Structure 1
Amino acid sequence: MGRSVNTLVAASVVLALAACSPKPAPVPAPTPPPRPTPSGEATPAPIPEPVAPVGDVDVVASGLDAPWSIVRLDNGGVLVSERDTARIVEVLPDGSARAVADVAGVDAYGEGGLLGLAERDGSLYAYFSAVDDNRIVRMPWSGDPGAITLGEPSDVLTGIPRASNHNGGRLAFGPDGLLYATTGDAGSPDDAQDPASLAGKILRMTPEGGVPSGADSLVHSLGHRNPQGIAWDSTDRLWAAEFGQNTWDELNLIEQGGNYGWPIVEGVAGDPAYIDPIVQWATDDASPSGLAIVNDTLFVAGLRGERVWAVYPGTVSESVGQTAWFEGEFGRIRDVVPGPDGSLWFLSNNTDGRGEPRDGDDRLYSVRLSPLVEG
């Protein structure tokens, strides 16, 4: 299932070149800038110990239908979106799932449907594809685990371009309390370079969908093809996982106002006009969707790659290290989130029309994480 910690240490200090040797080797961009050191007498915060999966993988839930996003509520409840059914389901302690709501207005075709979820201050936010656009809504939620209920949705943001593919769709609240959303180019690559378009962007907004104070627009970064994973590390740096076209998938360190090059460049280009990815993978090795960060270890869900990448951005060695986990064991992996009690949760996606479903698919899995110690 996994591998020993000692093996992982050796593997994580180099790029995972042997994972798929017949394919183009992953090429990292330069190591991200060093963490800033506070001035004066203050002591820098310790860098979190990197972590790795250990032990057996457990099934948290089964029988999910094209699941897309996981949300863990503060009261212990767990909600999952199903792309094609437009249902939000609650995961129960016995591993079953109960339908909580059918989100009105979802028009599921191609890669569109009910996509990302996020939660803040008693509201559940959902990103979905409607007939003419992608949009973000929020719904009040209440109830104890096992009896979660959702109220009527209200619009947060509408008019995000949609198509049969490249709809983006991930939602997350940042350390600044603002809502971030990833959008794809919706099949019109040039729109990713147009600052007036919401396509091919990472958006940043107030919880009500407004432009944040001090900003000129909702656009936080541009030049993206189809980003589907966002998360923040311990120093509040934003990372994003992004589908490439047919050559390179990307893991990017996001800067406000940054241009990530699509469709002019794909992967590491060395062009000073655009920001290179920190890591790139051949598309067969990744097709990255969800992204989670635990102790500054980045876990990236791989769809076509059928694995979870663990990426160590300069914390285990002087260069970016990475290791592939669970390759081919569970099929396509759509989302990954920090789980309870030092675990990592990840979501298979074999019933979406592109995978090969197994009995009981799709499933939500859990694996324990343990510190990764050099030596």
Structure 2
Amino acid sequence: MVGVVVGGALLAGCVEPAPTSGPTSLGSPVEGPTTSVPTDPEAGATTGPAVVQPSGPATVELDVATLATGLDVPWGIAPLEDGRSLVTLREEARLVLVDAGGTVTPVTGPGARQLADVVVPQGEGGLLGVAVVGASADGLDVALYTTTAQDNRVLRARLTGDTLGPLTAVLTGIPAARNHDGGRLAVGPDGFLYVSTGDAGDPRRAQDPDDLGGKILRLTPDGDAAPGNPVDGSPVWSLGHRNVQGLGWSSDGRMFASEFGQNTWDELNVIHRGANYGWPVVEGQGGAGDGFVDPVAVWPTSDASPSGLAVTEEAVYVAGLRGQRLWRVPLRPAAATDADGVGEPHALLERQHGRLRAAAVAADGTLLVVTGNTDGRGDPRPGDDRILRLTIR
């Protein structure tokens, strides 16, 4: 079994690794880029009218402004339609709301108190990813990736104004560790919740289809394995990952993921249903002949350590921690291979704001970038950590 999926109490769970040899397949991966959305939930195939495919310029210029300051180890950011953004603070296990004017408001309520009790920050773990999985007149349904004393869990609660209701568990039993802890959440164009998990320091997990570690998972908002997944009843969407930290989609349906390498190569991948991305057999490019999917861009680990990413009509923007820069990868129309659909990466904001943790597209189309200098590995500057607002021109 791959874990414990529940819709009520915060149940504990764990997954033991099982060694494997050679690439593992989860069924028939999609051949070539996905070029239309949404995904048919029953068949896993793409349906609906084709959309105009993006084609970004080779370079852009940025206008940079500071939106908010004084944040303690911010990690995840979810822009809201009303112009606010919901931000997680990893070490404090707290949520805050940042409005369009930069005012920071703490989130309170029973769910906030439960987070303080259940989250156990350790190393790269704590209160991590955040995503909005539903909305109604009563408020927003919010999903949160949390590290506990036993595991990583995806929790859900209703946000009304700045009040968080009681937490319920969506998925438990994700392996947790001080390093390679995963944690990004995102809702895809198909309406399902995607979850990135790390190998939790045991590379064998990534190739084991029955282990939740080293994967991208695809769930319904209630925590069930999404219909159309490669293996019926399994939440696993793709495998062979070391530590995916960024998830996003272009308007033509291509799914992108940024991933920390071990010692040599960090990666940007295009994610396909059921595909295997090679870890720990392959780091970087060179695995396609062995049945793995190669990344579309790689960087030396000293230049990137890619964390969150944002996808606009013209490019993928990847926040770099160790590299202290924002990598821009121009988008081209989807073509015969994934690599044909991206241009040459180039660096922006190089060493201007220190470590960069997350990126997201705001409701007004500007780019929000979260710095990561207060996490114990950076050199905090006055006002850190902060949220930057970037206008692309």
- Place the TM-score, normalised by the shorter chain, in its bin: 0.7 to 0.9
Structure 1 window deviating more from structure 2 (233-242 vs 195-204): it is: 233-242
Q: Pick from 332, 335, 343: which aligns with 2:358?
A: 335
Cross-structure match for 1:157: 171
Cross-structure match for 1:274: 292
d(CA) in 2 for partners of 1:115 and 1:66?
10
Q: Pick from 80, 83, 98: which aligns with 2:105?
A: 98
**In structure 1, the residue corresponding to 2:346 is in which secondary structure?**
strand
Cross-structure match for 1:29: none
d(CA) in 1 for partners of 2:174 and 2:52?
40
**In structure 2, the residue corresponding to 1:321 is in which secondary structure?**
coil
Q: Pick from 194, 198, 211: which aligns with 1:180?
A: 194
**In structure 1, the residue corresponding to 2:344 is in which secondary structure?**
strand
Change (3 A) 1:77 1:343: closer
The answer for unaligned runs of 5 or more in structure 2 is 1-30, 38-47, 135-139
Cross-structure match for 1:86: 93
Change (3 A) 1:53 1:113: farther
Cross-structure match for 2:63: 56
State the TM-score, normalized to the length of structure 1.
0.84
d(CA) in 2 for partners of 1:126 and 1:35?
28
* Letter matched to residue 231 of structure 1: G
d(CA) in 2 for partners of 1:113 and 1:97?
20
* Letter matched to residue 326 of structure 1: L
Change (3 A) 1:43 1:113: closer
d(CA) in 1 for partners of 2:282 and 2:189?
30
* Letter matched to residue 115 of structure 1: L
2:198–2:213 CA contact under 8 A, matched in 1: yes
1:230–1:241 CA contact under 8 A, matched in 2: yes
Change (3 A) 1:235 1:43: closer
How much does 1:35 deviate?
7.1
Q: Pick from 338, 343, 346: which aligns with 2:369?
A: 346
Cross-structure match for 2:125: 112
Cross-structure match for 1:21: none
* Letter matched to residue 113 of structure 1: G
The 5 Å alignment of 1:133-148 reads 133-143=151-161, 148=162
Cross-structure match for 2:304: 286
Give RMSD over aligned pairs.
Answer: 2.3
Q: Pick from 244, 250, 253: which aligns with 2:267?
A: 250
* Letter matched to residue 161 of structure 1: P
Q: Aligned residues: percent identity?
A: 48
Change (3 A) 1:55 1:112: closer
2:33–2:254 CA contact under 8 A, matched in 1: no
* Letter matched to residue 181 of structure 2: N
1:50–1:315 CA contact under 8 A, matched in 2: no
d(CA) in 2 for partners of 1:128 and 1:337?
20
Cross-structure match for 2:80: 73
Cross-structure match for 1:297: 315
Cross-structure match for 1:310: 328
Cross-structure match for 2:52: 46
Cross-structure match for 1:206: 220
CA deviation digits over 1:59-109, x for unaligned, max 9? 110000000011112233221100000000111455342221442300001
d(CA) in 1 for partners of 2:195 and 2:379?
29
**In structure 2, the residue corresponding to 1:209 is in which secondary structure?**
coil
d(CA) in 2 for partners of 1:36 and 1:100?
39
1:71–1:80 CA contact under 8 A, matched in 2: yes
d(CA) in 1 for partners of 2:70 and 2:302?
27
d(CA) in 1 for partners of 2:201 and 2:62?
42
State the TM-score, normalized to the length of structure 2.
0.80
* Letter matched to residue 70 of structure 1: I
User: Could you say which structure has the higher strand fraction?
Assistant: 1
* Letter matched to residue 214 of structure 2: G
**In structure 1, the residue corresponding to 2:276 is in which secondary structure?**
coil
How much does 1:34 deviate?
6.7
d(CA) in 1 for partners of 2:34 and 2:389?
31
How much does 1:214 deviate?
3.8
2:89–2:127 CA contact under 8 A, matched in 1: yes
Cross-structure match for 1:222: 239
The answer for unaligned runs of 5 or more in structure 1 is 1-31, 371-375
Q: Pick from 279, 283, 304: which aligns with 1:262?
A: 279
Runs of 4+ in 1 over 6 A off after TM superposition: 316-319
**In structure 2, the residue corresponding to 1:320 is in which secondary structure?**
coil
2:35–2:254 CA contact under 8 A, matched in 1: no
**In structure 1, the residue corresponding to 2:278 is in which secondary structure?**
coil
Change (3 A) 1:197 1:119: same
Change (3 A) 1:308 1:55: closer
CA deviation digits over 1:128-182, x for unaligned, max 9? 1000100000110112xxxx21111110000000011111000001111110000
**In structure 2, the residue corresponding to 1:192 is in which secondary structure?**
helix
* Letter matched to residue 119 of structure 2: V
